[in-house]
Amino acid sequence: MSDFGISACYGQLPGAAFPAGMMEQTVQLYQHDAFFHLALAKNRRRKHLQEVFADVRPEKVWISNNLRHLAPRGTGLPCDYLERGYFSPERAATASGQLARSIVIVNNNDLHQGGDPAGFVAVFNACPETIFIVWDWDNHHWLGLSVPLAVHSDLYAPTHHENHFLLSRYAVNITDSVAAGVAQWTAPFLEQHRSELVSAERSNQPLGKHIPYGPFQYRNRVVATLSPHFASVGFSSHQFHEMTELQKMQEWAAHKSHWIVPVLNDIPIRVFDALATGGIPLIPDTLRFTHWLADAHRDDVLYYAADDIVQPAALVQRACELFDRHGERGIIRRHEYAMDRHHGDVRLASMLDAAASLYGFLWRV
């Protein structure tokens, strides 16, 4: 019986000894006593914050700039938003008064200047009566930033399951992965434009514009392979971020399906953006059993294998057939599913629940 060439391919894989060597070094590193002392220091801060927040309502929930379209669902607390570039060493002198007895929910993209998190670290250390929740969207590849953020957090919520064990050595108070959610549109905005999602004229071509990132050549190769088949799949620039909310929504709602190419084996935010705007996401087979989509309707998410990247027409046709078959009912079902389960408002609420269980504060109405 043929092995289909699997063993031959295995023999050609580079770095055969790398995984075992990496794990051996990792285990050895994390036996160092300094990690235990870090856990003790973080526990001292945790006990202090438990005394500050026990059975009281925080004064406010502050949310960082990259999450400015979000508000925790179900909160009875006032919410406010930190301006862009808030975290700097100079800010530390005044931050303690502004943020005292409050919860701060911050995204990793707001916590560094040129990759340097020194400003955030200074603010964190200056605020002994503030609970900092770090929602890290890049823990699957940017460990140089993830590690100091994990250390300087009162609750660390990694977006991806990758590196969870490593980061748990630095972040004693760490959640399970909290997948990115719809964050480029507020929930009221999408509700206001729901009828446009239903009535939009949609192309049979999938949308799949991805920014090219040098370190992720495998991902870039997948996009480049698909691009000759579909003009709407290819590389884009950061100009997308300069569009208005309405322009972004209209671009997403102009397609029946969306080809999703993760940088690694992560769950990209665009999976949930596709569903929220009524489309069908096409995602890799390696994510077929992710629990984040386990409760989605079976016709609302399709998975692609390596063959589909080379010959994508059949999968896209299947997506269009499903979209047309379910019609308006399918658009509304996908939209409501994303809003109920995967909007960023829901994610923030889940992190507040986790923080409340640690520190004892009250926040739900």
The H or E element containing residue 61 is strand 61-63
Q: Which residues of 201-234 are buried (b: 16+ CB within 10 A; e: fewer)?
A: ebebbbbbbbeeeeebeebbebbeebbebbebbe
CA distance 302 to 299: 7
Are the C-beta atoms of 50 and 340 separated by less than 8 Å? no
Same fold, 19-181+345-359 and 187-342: yes
- Average pLDDT, rounded, for the chain: 95
Q: Which residues contact 334 (CB under 8 A, 6 or more apart)?
A: 275, 276, 278, 279, 280, 297, 300
- Mean pLDDT in residue range 17-37: 95
Extract the tokens encoding 41: 């220091």
Are the C-beta atoms of 256 and 319 separated by less than 8 Å? yes
Give the closest residue to 309 by CA, choosing from 246, 185, 223. Answer: 223
| Per-residue pLDDT tens digits for 233-267 | 999 876 777 889 999 999 999 999 999 999 998 99
Model confidence at 214: pLDDT above 80: yes
Give me the pLDDT at residue 242, please: 80
CA distance 151 to 168: 9
- Which one-letter amino acid corresponds to residue 53? F
| Per-residue pLDDT tens digits for 266-292 | 999 999 999 999 999 999 999 999 999
CA distance 252 to 271: 11
First vs last C-alpha separation in the chain: 64
- Mean pLDDT in residue range 311-334: 98
Residue extents of the structural domains in the chain? 19-181+345-359, 187-342
| Per-residue pLDDT tens digits for 103-112 | 999 999 999 9
Give me the pLDDT at residue 213, please: 87
Model confidence at 332: pLDDT above 90: yes
- Mean pLDDT in residue range 170-185: 97
CA distance 337 to 332: 8
CA distance 131 to 352: 10
Model confidence at 75: pLDDT above 90: no
| Fold assignment, 19-181+345-359 | Rossmann fold (3.40.50)
Calculated CA dihedral for residues 212, 215, 221, 226, nearest 10 degrees: -30
Are the C-beta atoms of 137 and 149 separated by less than 8 Å? no
Give the closest residue to 301 by CA, choosing from 311, 309, 287, 312. Answer: 287
Rounded percentage of the chain residues whose pLDDT exceeds 90: 93
Mean pLDDT is lowest, of 3-12, 292-301, 316-325, 329-338, for 3-12
In the CATH scheme, what is the code of domain 187-342?
3.40.50
Rounded percentage of the chain residues whose pLDDT exceeds 70: 99
Give me the pLDDT at residue 156, please: 98
Model confidence at 48: pLDDT above 90: yes
Sole residue written with tokens 């929740």:
133
